[in-house]
Amino acid sequence: MGEDVGGTRPSSASRTAGSLAGCRCKPGVGRRGREFRRPDSRVAVAMFFSQAGARPRRWEASQSEHKKWVEVFKACDEENKGYLSREDFKVAVVMLFGYKPSKIEADSVMSSVDPNTSGILLKEFLDIVRKKNEAQLYRNEIRHIFTAFDRHYRGYLTLEDFKKAFKQVAPKLSERIILEVFREVDQDSDGHVSFKDFEYAMNYGQK
């Protein structure tokens, strides 16, 4: 969790809340296909998450990172085939990211490769690794924003967390709008917004 510095909000939360007052965004549909309850709440949710500080960004690999990726590709292509098989790819992911990809992830990757090849070529592999790094970076930024709002480091956000953040950086934003945002993000209506709920809504705001 981030550090609470005597009531001064971290910059991500400030940028997020401070940009709400003037934003106008299109309404949307919530998770599980549930439509947002009221027009005001639809707009509130859209403005909140479309204006949050995190943005997907292109990962520019350094020379050393690029070299490492190529070395991993070659190490996993033990038979010098010029491509990675499904199992080769799984080993490469373990080497670079420290986890074994699920069947769904492996299926998705293999279905996206050039059908005229027998596996994942080096160019395709480098692109896959770059995109995975981009996704990881974006998730870290979302986590930073969540931490900025989690004033008491509990691992979830309450309505009071939302109110306190907005009161300091966007005092003209009505409590009704803040309440509508919170209610839509709190999908199971238990009064807590988990990181999973927050991440989902942040991703929705980028669509």
pTM: 0.64
Question: How long is the chain?
Answer: 207
Cα separation, 159 vs 157, in Å, equals 7
Considering only residues 156 and 205, tell me which one the structure prediction assigns the higher pLDDT: 156
Strand, coil or helix: 78: coil
Which pLDDT tens digit goes with each residue over 24-56?
334 344 444 444 455 555 555 555 555 555 565
Q: Which CATH superfamily is domain 150-206 in?
A: EF-hand (1.10.238.10)
Q: What's the CA dihedral at 167, 170, 173, 178 to 10 degrees?
A: -60
Candidates 3.40.50.10380, 3.40.50.2300, 1.10.238.10, 3.30.565.10; CATH matching 62-127: 1.10.238.10
Which pLDDT tens digit goes with each residue over 91-141?
999 999 999 999 999 999 999 888 888 899 999 999 999 999 988 888 888
C-alpha distances out from residue 39 to 28, 96, 129, 184, Å? 10, 45, 40, 12
Residues of the chain with CATH 1.10.238.10: 62-127, 150-206
Cα separation, 131 vs 145, in Å, equals 21
